[in-house]
Amino acid sequence: MTQRNTNRRELLKAAGLGAAAASILGSASVGRSAQPSRVKKSKLHGMKFDVLVVGGGPAGIGAALGAAGAGAKTMLIENHAFFGGVASWCLGMPINQMRPESKARSKVHELVINELTALGDQAVRIGQHQLWCNVEYLKVAVLNALDKVGCKYLVHTHAVDTVVKNNRVTGVVVATKQGMATIEAGAVVDCTGDGDIAFFAGAETMKEFGKLSPQTLCLSLTNVTSSQLRKVNMRQLAVKARTKYPLIPKGWGLRKVANSDNFYINHAGTRDIGQFDATDPFQRSAAECTSRRQIVQMAQAMREFGGDELNDIELTGAGAQMGVRETRRVKGLYVLTEKDAVDGRTFRDVIAWRSGYLDIGFVRFSKMKVHDVPYRAILPEKLDGLLMAGRCISATHVAASAGKSMGNCVATGHAAGLAAAMSVSKGILPREIKVARLQDALRADGVDLKRGGKVQKGVSAAG
């Protein structure tokens, strides 16, 4: 299903933000309110940056480090209280494809890894393709990396609309504790995962309800050892426990958090409960609330049905929100396909590559080759002034799953951030930059643009 947000006034009205946004923006895209506004303006209102990155997950971190590292006056805004996105609220799962085959991927990837290792042994365990992090250290490592490149950042800043002039995104409307504000920018990078910015600005987005990958609220646990866990068959436990605890998945595994003795679980989440569209407020609430009940049932099931090995296991935490694998993807000038991923397709306008597995979380897991991402897949088809990175780039439902490893999202973010910085410094639109110059800049940042087409060595389910 393709969506087009043509009537933004209606949408804002439905969200109770119509008059608010209109009076603050004063822009033709939203319209003017005849009434004086009682909506408070945040002191952020009217601030201007070269590059505005919205969303501080893996893609946003890559974009912010890429743009600020290239000298652009960059602002990164994030809805939550910390950066990392899914990497932070999934409590220790591997950040895959950060150093595939133990080779540095880019200056940006290495900056994050270096800031993590600088925090000591508890912060990270580095595998052949992935990082196993303690997320509290990860959150600080990201702050330190942003500081190193002089990137400005704000948390608790939620993007709720855009300013579009002559088909170009020139600003983003945010909600803060002081009220609303428009932040202006020479170029905006949509790293919201959900393509929020593109959607608010009226770009075409793609989302197939009925096929959406499941959402998962990850949990962390203590009072158990690896040797105890080896004696438990979690599938059999789940079969027995499901009568009493109907929300639990059909089995799951526990993995260690970085170098600690604590464990986390990434699991099938909502897969067996129903389809939820995480961009629909009602469905998202239903998924979040059901997931909270689900993880408590999982802990209870393990204690009650796990025999002597698990009767002391204790739930110590859950993610700040459920992890969302898939929602809108923004239609770009090129739409990546499953065939591109399986064949290891290369493109002349390559700006990043994606490695690992084609992985529709707990639904399908199959092999693919390293394949290129063309610049056309991070540019919206029609809208100007905007780039996208991470899980909302232009790809089919299956192809989106081929790029979801976080190292790949950092890579598309890095490229989008550099492209945004380049377009602003040259005073042109992102779609007008010379891709060869962007490729030169990426190579200068340590990106090998010739990895597409290769079969990745030693990649496993964990990597």
Ligand X SMILES: Cc1cc2nc3c(=O)[nH]c(=O)nc-3n(C[C@H](O)[C@H](O)[C@H](O)COP(=O)(O)OP(=O)(O)OC[C@H]3O[C@@H](n4cnc5c(N)ncnc54)[C@H](O)[C@@H]3O)c2cc1C
Closer residue to ligand X, CB minimum distance, 85 or 374: 85
In this chain, which stretch among 64-72, 83-91, 237-245, 333-341 interacts with ligand X, using CB under 6 A?
Answer: 83-91
Q: Which of 92, 323, 332, 417 binds ligand X (CB under 6 A)?
A: 323
Sign of CA dihedral 127, 404, 93, 197: positive
Enumerate residues 205-224 that contact ligand X by CB under 6 A.
216
Contact residue for ligand X among 396, 405, 439, 456 (CB under 6 A) = 405
Among 50, 78, 161, 384, binds ligand X (CB under 6 A): 78
Does 193 help bind ligand X (rule: CB under 6 A)? yes
Closer residue to ligand X (CB): 404 or 431: 404
- Footprint on residues 342-361 left by ligand X (CB under 6 A): 361
Residue 377 in contact with ligand X, rule: CB under 6 A: no
Shortest Å distance, C-beta 463 to ligand X: 8
- The site map against ligand X for 51-70 (x = CB under 6 A) is ---xxxxxxx----------
409 binds ligand X (CB under 6 A): yes
Asked if 295 interacts with ligand X (CB under 6 A), we say no
Q: How far is the CB of 15 from ligand X (least distance, A)?
A: 12
- Under the binding rule (CB under 6 A), the answer on residue 196 touching ligand X is yes
Q: Candidates 101-109, 162-170, 322-330, 453-461 — which segment interacts with ligand X by CB under 6 A?
A: 322-330
Residue 56 CB, shortest distance to ligand X, in Å, is 5
SS (H, E, C) the chain: CEEECCCHHHHHHHCCCHHHHHHHHCCCCCCCCCCCCCCCECCCCCCEEEEEEECCCHHHHHHHHHHHHCCCCEEEECCCCCCCCHHHHCCCCCEECCCHHHCCCCHHHHHHHHHHHCCCCCCEEECCCEEEECHHHHHHHHHHHHHHCCCEEECCCEEEEEEEECCEEEEEEEEECCEEEEEEEEEEEECCCCCHHHHHCCCEEECCCCCCCCCECCEEEECCCHHHHHCCCHHHHHHHHCCCCCCCCCCCCCEECCCCCCEEECCCCCCCCCCCCCCCHHHHHHHHHHHHHHHHHHHHHHHHHCHHHHCCCEEEEECCCCECCCCCEECECCCECHHHHHHCCCCCCEEEEECCCEEECCCEEECCCCEEEEHHHHCECCCECEEECHHHCCECHHHHHHCCCHHHHHHHHHHHHHHHHHHHHHCCCHHHCCHHHHHHHHHHCCCCCCCCCCCCCCCCCCC
How many residues of this chain interact with ligand X, rule: CB under 6 A?
A: 38
Choose, by CB under 6 A, the member of 23, 74, 106, 192 that binds ligand X. Answer: 192
Confirm or reject binding of residue 19 to ligand X (CB under 6 A). Answer: no
Rule CB under 6 A: say whether 391 interacts with ligand X. Answer: yes
Which residues in the 97-156 window bind ligand X by CB under 6 A? Answer: none
94 binds ligand X (CB under 6 A): yes
Q: Binding of ligand X at residue 168 (CB under 6 A)?
A: no
Nearer to ligand X, 66 or 85 (CB): 85
> With binding defined as CB under 6 A, does residue 77 bind ligand X?
yes
- Contacts with ligand X by CB under 6 A lie at 54-60, 77-80, 85-87, 90, 93-96, 158-159, 191-194, 196, 216, 266, 323-325, 361, 390-391, 404-406, 409
